[in-house]
């Protein structure tokens, strides 16, 4: 497969996964702010998921400003709108390699976020309705991808991108929730909404069958291979899809990347031996650093980046 095509579909999946995770977090935390977390810090949310560029930092005075900045801001390089534009641009450049149905799903997503009704709901009416509307488009994308794409290299790179981004977003959301808990009187409320943001609260109640506690939440989010948003589940899926590239790769390059991925998995297994809330302070920067190195080598080997 051409490196340009592999690169485009890989990043298409990453931007879409990033969007999906942010939408779920915003929906969950908006509901939390209206329900249990009445002193919700919207500035912390805007800073945590905003741009690293100083000129794109903004001061938000209320939830509507924060939501607009993170969802619809066009100058903001990390907004949902910007991500969807990037997804569509990447999809347009590889239209011959994706299905017509997948392109249509992405094009619909793009036009839905442009609709004046979406902005009106966020700024003047019920933001949850707008967030649900956009999340539905994410679900349609994933469903269309699953039932229409052939299982070739394009599908492999789409899934590699999806699960890599899921791991990284999992770490970002976990770190954000830790910051929220610094001044929290009741930590269990934040753990509950962390699970809601990762679509994992119902899973937790059925799998652990105990009152919510930090150790079991950390186990689910980081280590539980039956939970589709955990780090360990996503790493296992990354290894599964990466191994499909063996026949299309130079042996020494494939071995190098496989070893990096296996090292990541071993690192997570090491943290699992004795984990508690304090372990995530070391785990997050360590695993993020390894992911960044893996991403750089993947880009150099398969996408032609120097």
Give me the residue spans of the domains in the chain: 3-302
In our burial notation (b when 16+ CB lie closer than 10 A, e otherwise), range 145-172 reads: beeebeeebbbbbbbbbbbbbbbbbbbb
Dist CA 127 CA 23 (whole Å): 11
User: What is the sign, positive or negative, of the torsion defined by CA atoms of 159, 164, 168, 171?
Assistant: positive
Average pLDDT over residues 106-128: 96
The tokens describing 257, both together, are 């990347």
Q: Is 176 exposed, middle or buried (0-12, 13-18, 19+ CB in 10 A)?
A: buried
The number of beta carbons lying within 10 Å of the beta carbon of residue 59 is 8
pTM of the model: 0.94
Query: How far is residue 155 CA from its own chain's centroid?
Result: 18
Answer for the pair 283, 222: CB distance below 8 angstroms, yes or no.
yes
User: pLDDT band at 35, cuts 50/70/90?
Assistant: confident
- Residue 9 has what pLDDT? 95
Q: For residue range 73-111, what is the model confidence (pLDDT) as tens digits?
A: 988 888 999 999 999 999 999 999 999 999 999 999 999
For residue 55, pLDDT beyond 90: no
Which tens digits make up the pLDDT trace of 158-190?
999 999 999 999 999 999 998 888 776 667 888
Instruction: Check residue 182 and give its pLDDT.
Output: 78
Cα 226 to Cα 203, 207, 220, 276, distances in angstroms = 9, 9, 9, 20
Report how far residue 58's alpha carbon sits from residue 26's, in angstroms, rounded to the nearest whole number: 17
Alpha helices in 72-209 (DSSP H): 80-93, 100-114, 116-124, 127-148, 153-181, 187-197, 201-207
Cα R_g (the chain), whole angstroms: 19
pLDDT tens track for 222-275: 999 999 999 999 999 999 999 999 988 899 999 999 999 999 999 999 999 877
298-301 LR contacts (CB < 8 Å, sep 24+): 298/160, 298/257, 299/7, 301/249, 301/250, 301/253, 301/256, 301/257
Q: Report residue 164: phi and psi, to 5°.
A: -65, -45
């Amino acid at each position: 497969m051409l490196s340009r095509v592999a690169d485009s579909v890989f990043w298409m999946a990453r931007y879409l996964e990033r969007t999906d995770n942010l939408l779920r977090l915003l929906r969950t935390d908006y509901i939390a702010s209206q329900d249990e977390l009445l002193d919700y810090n919207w500035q912390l949310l805007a800073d945590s998921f905003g741009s690293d560029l100083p000129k794109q930092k903004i001061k938000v005075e209320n939830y509507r400003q924060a939501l607009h900045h993170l969802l619809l801001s066009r100058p903001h390089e990390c907004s949902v709108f910007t991500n969807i534009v990037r997804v569509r641009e990447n999809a347009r450049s590889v239209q011959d390699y994706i299905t017509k149905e997948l392109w249509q799903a992405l094009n619909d997503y793009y036009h839905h976020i442009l609709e004046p009704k979406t902005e009106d709901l966020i700024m003047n009416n019920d933001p949850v309705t707008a967030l649900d509307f956009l999340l539905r488009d994410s679900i349609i994308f994933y469903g269309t991808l699953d039932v229409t794409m052939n299982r070739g290299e394009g599908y492999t790179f789409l899934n590699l991108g999806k699960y890599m981004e899921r791991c990284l977003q999992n770490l970002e959301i976990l770190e954000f929730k830790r910051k929220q808990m610094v001044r929290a009187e009741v930590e269990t409320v934040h753990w509950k909404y962390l699970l809601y943001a990762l679509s994992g609260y119902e899973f937790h109640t059925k799998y652990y069958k105990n009152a919510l506690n930090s150790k079991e939440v950390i186990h689910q989010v980081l280590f539980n291979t039956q939970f589709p948003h955990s780090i360990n589940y996503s790493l296992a899926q990354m290894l599964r899809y990466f191994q499909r590239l063996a026949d299309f790769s130079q042996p020494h390059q494939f071995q190098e990347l496989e070893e990096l991925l296996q090292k990541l998995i071993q690192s997570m297994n090491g943290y699992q031996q004795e984990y508690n809330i304090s372990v995530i302070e070391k785990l997050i920067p360590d695993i993020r650093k390894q992911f960044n190195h893996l991403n750089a080598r993947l880009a150099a080997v398969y996408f032609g980046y120097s």
